[in-house]
Amino acid sequence: MKKKLSGLLCLIAMIALAATLVACASNTATSASSSSTEASASADASASQSAESAGDPLDLWADDAPLKKELVAFVKAATDESSPDFIPVEDRIATFDFDGTLFCETDPNYFDYTMLAYRVTEDPNYKDKASDFEKSVAAKIIDQNENGTKYDELPLEHGQAVASAFAGMTVDEFYSYVHEFMKQPMPSYKGMVRGGGFYLPMVQVVEYLQANDFTVYIVSGTDRLIVRGIFSDESCPIDLPLDQVIGSDETLVGSAQGDADGLDYTFTKDEKLVLGGEFTLKDLKENKVYLIQREIAKQPVLSFGNSSGDFAMDNYALSNPDYPAAAFQLCCDDLERENGSMSKADSMREDCQKNGYVPVSMANDWKTIYGDGVTYLGAEEELALAA
């Protein structure tokens, strides 16, 4: 009897011990699981914070930049179907000027001005063939570069000279010429060629709009084919279909057309389309509005420019009767990283205040302009002149 009782007590003790061990193991597993969950949540939060920080599509802009704050709010409302300011995808049209808005405006002059001067005075394959008119236009450009001389007739004369100096080239040959000129060094900058003059913060603006289903158009005073040449080069940081590039125009004709009028001539299968040698339209001021309506057939809701030549385009956007709209103007107030002008910047800020445009300070709103590898060589001189 004592043996049976002793065995029973031993069995009970073993069962209790086993239960205790199971309970301990369960608590340990629960604690480990809880710690793992907390660690995972912490890691997820950290990753989320990191992703949020790294995912800022406008991270080259100062957080308090007016454009950044207003554009983000605008896009958020325009893409929210529950918002009264929602804009359907097909009506999300944004127009950008080119020189001085997306790309270095002058060094020492516009890209297309410097390319013409090179063609007429330096290009070994053309300089001896240049006409007296082309030489006179090139001389005015060089005088303007060196002495700041103003020529009111130069915008139109330059367009005419570009048309004649490249007459007979196919479009692809002309693009190739632009690509080669883009490889030349930018004289006032270290570490940059002429095709590298894109403003990186503005590149982000274009990409941000494209990511939110805005259709972006370039509406430039520069020759349309020159701007298309820049955008067709593999080095261009903006991916944009060439049919969304609008600019100043020249004639295009059949290679065998001669002097025949287009109404009297039929393009044949055996010829090529070439530059016709005649300038037709300068895309500035009211002409920008005309071309937007002719080629886009819709009013923009966003407009970006940098000069009074863009005000008509800005006002056309702001007069959109169907949707909210905004216009932004760059102020060239950076004298350390860019060949800016404080007098022009101050004048532009006054115009922005008067007309309801949002000013963009290149000096204060941008963390970089061309990237860390580019140095403006004229900074000391610019700052001394401004002092």
**CATH classification of the domain holding 230:** 3.40.50.1000
Record the pTM: 0.85
**DSSP letter at 231?**
H
Residue 272 lies in a domain: yes
The helix/strand/coil state of 334 is coil
From first to last of the 387 residues of the chain, give the pLDDT tens digit: 434 434 434 444 454 444 444 444 444 444 444 444 433 433 343 333 333 345 899 999 999 999 999 999 999 999 999 999 999 999 999 999 999 999 999 999 999 999 999 999 999 999 999 999 999 999 999 999 999 999 999 999 999 999 999 999 999 999 999 999 999 999 999 999 999 999 999 999 999 999 999 999 999 999 999 999 999 999 999 999 999 999 999 999 999 999 999 999 999 999 999 999 999 999 999 999 999 999 999 999 999 999 999 999 999 999 999 999 999 999 999 999 999 999 999 999 999 999 999 999 999 999 999 999 999 998 777 667 666
Phi-psi region at 117: left, alpha or beta (left = phi > 0; alpha = psi -120 to 50): alpha
Whether residue 215 is contained in a domain is answered as: yes
Domain for residue 55, yes or no? Answer: no
- In whole angstroms, what is the distance from residue 43 CA to residue 66 CA? 34
Asked if the structure places residue 130 within a domain, the reply is yes
CA 278 remoteness from chain centre: 30
Look at residue 255 and tell me if it is in a domain: yes
Name the residue among 238, 146, 247, 145 with its Cα closest to residue 196.
238
**16 lies in some domain:** no
DSSP summary character for residue 92: -
Please state, in angstroms and rounded to a whole number, the distance separating the CA atoms of residues 225 and 171. Answer: 8
Q: Is 207 buried (19+), middle (13-18) or exposed (0-12) by CB count in 10 A?
A: middle
Other Cβ atoms within 10 Å of 171 Cβ, number: 17
> Which residues are bridge partners to 230 per DSSP?
none
Q: Examine residue 200 and state whether it is found in any structural domain, yes or no.
A: yes
Q: Which domain holds residue 161?
A: 66-386
Q: How many domains does one find in the chain?
A: 1
Dihedral angle at the C-alpha atoms of 37, 42, 44, 48, nearest 10 degrees? Answer: 160
User: For residues 115 and 312, is the Cβ–Cβ distance under 8 A?
Assistant: no
Contacts of 130 (CB under 8 A, 6+ apart): 119, 120, 121, 138, 165
235 within some domain: yes
